[in-house]
Amino acid sequence: MRKFLNDPERFADEALEGLLLAHPGQVRRLPDEPRAVVRADRPERPRVAIATGGGSGHLPLFVGYVVRGLADGCSVGNMFASPSADVMLSVTRAIDTGEGVLYLYGNYGGDRINFEAAADLASDYGITVESVRGADDILSAPAEQADQRRGIAGIFFGYAVAGLAARAGRSLADVAALARHTLDRTRSIGVALSGAILPTVGTPNFALAADEMEIGTGIHGEPGTRRGPLVTVDELAHEMVPQLVAELSLAAGDEVAVLVNGLGATPREELYIIYRAVHQLLEKARIVPRHVFVGEYATSLEMAGASISLLHLDETIEPLIAAATASQAPA
The edge-to-edge listing of strands for the beta sheet with 49-56 is 27-30, 33-39, 73-79, 49-56, 101-106, 129-134
58, 279, 291, 312: the catalytic one is 58
220, 279, 291, 312: the catalytic one is 220
With beta carbons less than 8 A apart as the criterion, state whether 185 and 248 touch. Answer: yes
Which amino acid does the sequence have at 131?
S
Which amino acid does the sequence have at 321?
I
The Cα 279–Cα 293 span in angstroms is 12
Check residue 289 and report its DSSP letter.
E
Give the angle 80-82-84 at the CA atoms, nearest 5°. Answer: 145
23 flagged as catalytic: no
> In sequence order, what are the residues at sequence separation of 6 or more whose Cβ sits closer than 8 angstroms to the Cβ of residue 194?
204, 208, 265, 302, 303, 304, 305
> Shortest CA distance to 311 belongs to which of 178, 220, 214?
178
Say if residue 52 is exposed, middle or buried (CB neighbours under 10 Å; 0-12, 13-18, 19+): buried
H helices present in the chain, as ranges: 11-22, 64-67, 85-95, 109-123, 155-167, 172-184, 233-247, 268-284, 318-324
279 flagged as catalytic: no
Q: Annotated catalytic sites, by residue?
A: 58, 220
